[in-house]
Structure 1
Amino acid sequence: MLLSQGEEPARTAEPGARRPVDDVPPPAPDEASRDAARVAGSERPWSGAGAVATGVVWGLRATGEGPPHRTAADLDEGAYTCSCASPQPPCPHALELLALHAGDRPVLRRSAEPPAWVAQWLTGVRGGMAADGVPGAAAGPGAKADDGADDRARTARRRADRRAGRVTGGAQDLEQRLTDLLRGGLATAEDPGNPLWEETAARMVDAQAPGLAHRVRELGEVPASGTGWPARMLEECALLHLLDTAWLGLGRLPAPLAATVRSRVGLTASAEGPALRDHWLVLAQYDVPDGRIVTRRAWLHGRTSGRTTLLLSYGAAGRAPDLALPVGSVIDAEVTPYPGGGRLRGELGLRFGEPYADPPPPPGGTTADALAAYGRALRDDPWLDSWPAVLGEVVPAPAAEGWRLVGTDSTALPVAGPALSRPGLWKLAALSGGLPLTVFGTCGHRGFEPLAAWPPDTSDGFGARGPVALL
């Protein structure tokens, strides 16, 4: 049980149930507003509600008569908006929305970006803020443009400092909970359905550290992972402790590692640095459900630079991500890397011309080369699960403990990841037919997850020569 000393278990409510008055957030201006938010504290009146990791929540609140109220809150700035006629912000609707957010209720769908009406309001709040931090107070008519830019920069720094303070509080709380877990023994964590895992994750969400929340949820799934789970639990606890302490000592870390830590706890960053133009071969593309958001991952390999980069695109529930790149095609484009160790992730920029087909695979290495590359990457990012690699001249072969990719030098890597339970594994075996082939995938501490493969070279000239997607 992840429970600090003196702390009571969180109580959960059925969807649509009223929330207790203590759940109404502190910004309530008076007791009457708290009571109104308590009475209204239900999911039923809300629609079109959502939240983003940057601390913005919104929703449409039904009134029973007339159009619904548009309500939004910027938690970083302490700013609220609602189309109701309440004279004193935050109104009961905003308080109710904050209560739903604090409880991580299902009605608040996680989204990559807010809707247009919320984005327009945020522009006024974050773009038109005076130096004293009052939302909506724009620079006067005699102010210089540089003064406005300085004000916005100071505001951005204050916002970043406030969020960093929240993350620090969450990390300290998580450290205490990890300590309590280890003192009490791992047997207390054996129930994967224990609501305290979700309660701890919700605390990390409140601290605006979605990366920590994700790792806590994964920690709660370890006891159901089969034989040997206590060792894996200790391993994950150690990595989580390492991430906590890295954040708490962020100022002492080298800049690349500090950027990696910020990314791992869930702080967003923009692509930076000079863009790299190359002819990029699309190695693989697949979607990964992540709660109510779908993440599309696309792997590219630079024909000239030899660099492999990862592109991410997001889609809300029921919507496919915008990025769509045909596997096996080559695009002449610029890619800008994101900060952090390894600088693996990139952002697709300008494209030149139309995509074209280029069947030959990139140069492949041995299984030892893949393991060595993963080891080097761990020095820059100790929380890295895997690293991209191209294996040349390997044959998929069954073994007593599962499938392996065996190289011409008789070394082998176990096949890991979703491919173990998907038709892709059989597709890989059929594509090989017992002959060596080139495979692209990710190599990590669990093994090698194949994502795409090129058929063996044969003298007949038949068959597809481009990569075959395995996921």
Structure 2
Amino acid sequence: MKSVLDKRIETMLQGANELQLWVLDAIRQGFGHLQSQPNATWDSIAARMTDSKLAVISRRIRVLRDRRHEAQWPELFFNELADFYLFAQAFRRIESLPEPLQEELLLQGGRTIRRNDLLDQQPAQHDRWLALGQTSGMEEDLRWRRTWFLAERLQKFALVLDFAFRDTPYTQEWLLGSVIDADFHFFPGVYPLRAVVGEFALSGESFLPFDGFLNARSMANAYTKALSENPFLQIFPVVLSGFSIILQQEQFYALDAERHYLTLSKQEEKNWKLLACSAGHPIDLFAEWDGSRLNPLAMIDDQQIIKL
């Protein structure tokens, strides 16, 4: 990797120092004070992060600004500011970190790698890949889409992240439940998940059966292991097998056979659909875990992928 003393790293380091001061000020003044700040105040720190080559941090601050009036804002503030502080502290020590973790920090901050460079520099991981889940959204004028793939032989996940401006179509459409014979090239870092698709062709053969976590305990253990490798991990993909969906006091949960539960994210329409489809019976599903809540993306019925 290029020396961490180059101009870009120095600029990012200055931004990390300013980010840490902003977090500490927010803690001293209280989350309520931060919540009440006008958009212009939020936009100012976000712009300074952009100027410091920390585009990802800037985007997350703008998202936090737009979500600060949600009911769960205290938990949201706590989690995001804790992540920001961890990032700032780690970046100040970047020279002493192992190279894969340096790469991870640069990506978390906003370093971009061109697709062609990634295809040339990162080895291809060839397998048959199942499009297992997909979610999308919009931030200002930019649409984004996350598509999750599962490798048949390698038994690993890959995240393909696509962006499009306003109504511009995405470069490639991925059909949920489809199987492709493909080369995936993963971004550098620790516990790599994000990847780009190289050469690929649709596969007409069925995908071999795969197993998921049978209980919340085994999922938590796997998540803990992944987090120990990459402390900046924000999304952990999971397949859950034999979980029931329940509603208790206006909150939805995924319940395993041992009566341990995982809290579902606040997406009423999706959760009601999931509850109706399960009809009180254990089901298999694919979801994103953020450390506190589960975001279900698809039901799995006899290897058929049903989008939620």
Structure 1 length as normaliser, TM-score?
Answer: 0.59
Per-residue deviation, 1:469: 0.6
Q: Deviations over 1:136-173 (max 9, x none)?
A: xxxxxxxxxxxxxxxxxxxx969x92322222222222
5 Å matches for 1:17-416? Answer: 161-191=6-36, 193-221=38-66, 223-226=68-71, 229=74, 232-269=76-113, 271=118, 272-352=121-201, 354-356=202-204, 358=206, 362-366=210-214, 367-416=216-265
User: What is the distance in 2 between the residues matched to 1:343 and 1:221?
Assistant: 29
Q: Where do 5+ consecutive residues of structure 1 fail to align?
A: 1-155, 458-464
Stretches of 4+ aligned residues off by more than 4 angstroms: none
* Match among 268, 272, 290 for residue 421 of structure 1: 268
User: What is the distance in 2 between the residues matched to 1:284 and 1:185?
Assistant: 38
Q: Where do 5+ consecutive residues of structure 2 fail to align?
A: none
User: For 2:258, what is the secondary structure of its paired residue?
Assistant: coil
Task: Confirm or deny: 8 A CA contact 2:182 2:199 kept in the other structure.
Answer: yes
- CA distance 1:268–1:221, shift in 2 (3 Å): same
Q: Which has the higher strand share?
A: 2
**Structure with greater contact order relative to length (CA < 8 Å, sep ≥ 6):** 2
Task: Please state if 1:448 is matched with 2:308.
Answer: no
User: What is the distance in 1 between the residues matched to 2:235 and 2:129?
Assistant: 21
Aligned partner of 1:66 in structure 2 is none
Per-residue deviation, 1:375: 1.4
% of aligned pairs identical?
26
RMSD: 2.6
Per-residue deviation, 1:232: 4.6
User: What is the distance in 1 between the residues matched to 2:163 and 2:60?
Assistant: 20
Per-residue deviation, 1:209: 1.2
Task: Confirm or deny: 8 A CA contact 2:152 2:207 kept in the other structure.
Answer: no
Q: Deviations over 1:94-146 (max 9, x none)?
A: xxxxxxxxxxxxxxxxxxxxxxxxxxxxxxxxxxxxxxxxxxxxxxxxxxxxx
Corresponding letter in the other structure for 2:92: L
User: What is the distance in 2 between the residues matched to 1:375 and 1:243?
Assistant: 19
User: What is the distance in 2 between the residues matched to 1:387 and 1:177?
Assistant: 28
- CA distance 1:235–1:448, shift in 2 (3 Å): closer
Task: Confirm or deny: 8 A CA contact 1:361 1:438 kept in the other structure.
Answer: no
- CA distance 1:329–1:187, shift in 2 (3 Å): closer
Equivalent pairs counted in the alignment come to 302
Larger radius of gyration between Structure 1 and Structure 2: 1
